[in-house]
Amino acid sequence: MSQQRKRVRELGLSIGRFQPGPLNAITDVKGVSVGHCTLIEGTDVRTGVTAILPNSGDVYHQRVLGGGFVLNGAGEVSGLTQTMEWGLIETPILLTNTLSVGKCSDSLVKYMLNKHPSIGNRHDVVIPLVGECDDSWLNNIAKTSIRYEHVEAALNSARGGPVAEGNVGGGTGMITCDFKAGIGTSSRVVPIGKDGLSFTLGVLVMSNFGEMQDLCFGGLHVGRRLEPDYKSYVRRRENYGSIIAIIATDAPINSIQLNRLSKRVALGIGRTGSYAGHGSGEIVVGFSNANTVPREIKGDIVTLKELLDQKLNPLYAAAIETTEEAILNALCMAEDMSGYDDHIVPAIPLDKLQVILDQAKDLL
């Protein structure tokens, strides 16, 4: 059993220059809620579903502006094509394993039809946003264990407040740099200009990429320091893995600006040691709930607030450091896990990590 887990700030490492929100989580963005359903069954089922609701659960009637970015496309977020085309998000966002994208999409359609029977007749159809990573090292993915009730449970459990991290929801079977990882989150309060204006930005990741030798914490190559202790572990080698990142903000930015903001998330992923290897998917979905676009609009014009492009730089910087910290939180909060085919994935050893960080504290 792993030692008591801690988030990375509890180890004394503060990433970046901006202050986190009260919870240091994506739910610091007002109106955002997160829910999980975790499946751990027998010796070979290690998977689940994570749900992100962008707008107090009513994103169908009050759509939010959306965007995204694909750094490397050996992965999938179904529905992202329409989001990029329209610049709108109108469904919750689900995260799960690779072979459960279809089931999650179908289940979310069913869930929304039950809540909104006007879909497909009085109103247009919806295309759910469902992101995936491959958890087949720990999870018998061919069992396709995800069912409607698991999607429903994740959606119904979505709340504001603290977000469970590590071996939960869609992150249950996920691995990062040969250590157990999964779901991680972080946030920043970002001042803009000189008039006291500030906005909140949060990131949630389902992290499942990389190799131990490349792992970095705050620029320190900790993976190289830890690797000699793990030579006896059998590691996945044919699958570099992937990461899906969700970035949310209450800053009034448009869909083009959200695309640009999402690109900076990729820089944060790179800071932790990713080089976006072959077979890897690094896909980002972004949204702002500062503006909403009602499904039914009287008249032909909707008026939206928009931050000047020249004021975006602090948000760009915050996106990078928030992403980096979210990934590190996923690693620090995850516990050891055994699973399919007798595979064992260790949690990153916080005691040894603490020593490394303390030795380098003057450099951080």
Catalytic residues: 242, 280, 282
* 3-state DSSP assignment of residue 203: strand
CA count, 13 A, side-chain hemisphere, 48: 26
Rounded Cα distance between 331 and 6, Å, is: 10
323 contacts: CB under 8 Å, gap ≥ 6 = 186, 203, 205, 245, 247, 264, 265, 267, 268, 269, 271
Give the residue from 88, 96, 193, 202 showing the smallest Cα distance to 141. Answer: 96
Rounded Cα distance between 96 and 172, Å, is: 9
**Is 95 within 8 Å of 170 (Cβ atoms)?**
yes
Q: Is 210 left (phi over 0), alpha (psi -120 to 50) or beta?
A: left
The residue ranges of DSSP E strands in the chain, in sequence order, are 33-41, 45-53, 62-73, 77-78, 88-89, 93-97, 129-133, 175-176, 179-180, 182-192, 197-209, 241-249, 281-294, 337-338, 344-345
String of DSSP letters for 2-32: PPPP--GGGGT---SSSBP-SSSSGGGSTT-
Which residue in this structure is represented by tokens 């640009």? Answer: 260
Residue 205 phi/psi, 5-degree rounding, is: -120, 150
Rounded Cα distance between 153 and 139, Å, is: 20
